[in-house]
Amino acid sequence: MRRLAAIGAVVALAACGTPEQAIPSCPPGATDALLLMAQSVPSATQIPCVTELPVGWSYGGQVIERGRSELWLYSDRAGERAVTVTLTRRCDASEAIEVPTDEPELTRYEEPLSLAPSLRVNRYYLFPGGCVTYRFRFEGGSYTEVLQATEALSFVSRAEGVRQLAENGLILCGAGVDCPG
């Protein structure tokens, strides 16, 4: 049985012509990038992923390294790197306000930084073993773009990733799954 090992090196992917496997897409069918993100923060029980992008939005790229993964999206209205999504083991949401969550099993916090003329908001999702931060940095656009970006982003549980990989004879180590050896 082969084992998926954690990657310590930085993986950087350009936005232009990004191969399908390079986008951390939500299941069905986990992508290479999603698996690398899961291994970058082995304690995380949830992994951020990209669903279908709305018109005007595009995948920007990502950096995956030990202890941290980051991806970003571009918007034709809100600007370059309009949303940056970061997965880490911990984050500081002490300046944010807890709000009702749109994601089951996650606690959500909002930290508005500025509303006009440019929208700047930090959103934190906390869960066992990890934190995902959405940094909205809109040079133009409106709260409608926040809603669009939120629709384009979601989470997959580590348990679901483990299940999918096991079907292919692979092991995803980390929270709730002991690594062989």
User: Length of the chain in residues, anyone?
Assistant: 181
Higher pLDDT, 18 or 67: 67
pLDDT for 178:
62
CATH topology of domain 2-171: Protein Transport Mog1p; Chain A (3.40.1000)
- Percent of the chain clearing pLDDT 90 (strictly above): 49
Instruction: Give the separation between CA 55 and CA 82, rounded to whole angstroms.
Output: 14
Q: Write down the mean pLDDT value for the chain.
A: 81
Interval 10-25 mean pLDDT: 51
Spell out the residues 6+ positions from residue 17 whose beta carbon is closer than 8 angstroms to its own: none
Instruction: Give the separation between CA 63 and CA 84, rounded to whole angstroms.
Output: 11
**Positive or negative: CA dihedral 66, 121, 92, 100:** negative
Segments making up each domain of the chain, as ranges:
2-171
83-107 tens-digit pLDDT: 999 999 999 999 999 999 988 889 9
136-152 tens-digit pLDDT: 998 865 678 888 999 99
